[in-house]
Amino acid sequence: MTDKEWDPKDYLFDFADVPAYEGELVAMPIHHKMEKLRKYLVHDVLSDMERAQAADAPLSAVLLGLASIDYLAGYYAGKQSKKPEYVDFMRRYFPSAHQPYLEAFYDQLRSGLMHNLVAMNPWKPNEISFTIHRHSDNHLAVGADGKIDFSVGHLRVDIFRAWRMWAFDLIMKPDKNEQEVRNFHRRFNKYDGVGAYMEETPNQIP
């Protein structure tokens, strides 16, 4: 984890029981909607990211991680996330060590890898470059080659941290985050919730 001082106990959810719900996705209480996201992001996407790390496939892992931030940034903004929304979400919910590199993170890592399969965007200036590691204790430190060491292992934990803090803000502090709550519902309810998350379909035994 990038932020060694972060304690998940500071973000414990405490609310009255929410009744079981049956009905349209878009009419679900926010607690149920957020639980759908938790299962998808934490149990499916980030678990796949962890498995890719274990299989020594850091490129697959980092692509999942970068897409996960886009996914959360879209909920945060209530619309398709672009650079301002992506950077704003990271600025608010990622550890402070990322702050000097947010613009380069989006331009080089996110856009470079997602669109060009290289950690250097050929269409953007590249004063800051990254070296991707499956796991490194020198995450976000300047390496001997002058590039920023980037640890996929730290990224996965930082994404979980960001999700937990963001979900806590919406569930436990809705009065202080009214616009963010509206943004969340707008994104979730797009196309009647069909594009909000995915569920794995078990293999059918013939």
Task: Give 164-181 pLDDT, tens digit per residue.
Answer: 999 999 999 999 999 999
Q: What are the structural domain ranges in the chain?
A: 29-193
8-state DSSP, 110: I
Q: What average pLDDT score do residues 118-130 get?
A: 87
| Six token digits for residue 152 | 């996929």
Determine the pLDDT at residue 100: 93
Determine the pLDDT at residue 19: 87
Q: Is 167 helix (H, G, I), strand (E, B) or coil?
A: helix
The secondary structure of 45-99 as a DSSP string is: IHHHHHHHHHTT-HHHHHHHHHHHHHHHHHHHHTS---HHHHHHHHHHHS-GGGG
| Contacts within 8 Å (CB) and 24+ apart, 176-180 | 180/76
Residues 6+ apart with CB under 8 A from 204: none
Only one residue has tokens 């919730």, namely: 193
Residues 6+ apart with CB under 8 A from 164: 8, 11
| Contacts within 8 Å (CB) and 24+ apart, 121-129 | 128/101, 128/104
pTM strictly above 0.75: yes
| Alpha carbons 2 and 113: distance in angstroms, whole number | 22
pLDDT at 1 over 80: no
Instruction: State the CB neighbour count (10 A cutoff) for residue 150.
Output: 25
Give tens-digit pLDDT for 7-24: 899 999 998 888 888 889
Q: Are 159 and 140 in contact (CB under 8 A)?
A: no
Q: What average pLDDT score do residues 104-117 get?
A: 93
With cut-offs at 50, 70 and 90, classify the pLDDT of residue 204: low
8-state DSSP, 87: H
With cut-offs at 50, 70 and 90, classify the pLDDT of residue 150: very high
Q: Apex CA 86: angle with CA 61 and CA 4, to 5°?
A: 60
Give tens-digit pLDDT for 31-68: 999 999 999 999 999 999 999 999 999 999 999 999 99
Closest by Cα among 123, 185, 187, 119 to 148: 119
| Percent of the chain residues topping a pLDDT of 90 | 77
Give tens-digit pLDDT for 81-96: 999 999 999 999 999 9
Only one residue has tokens 């349209």, namely: 24
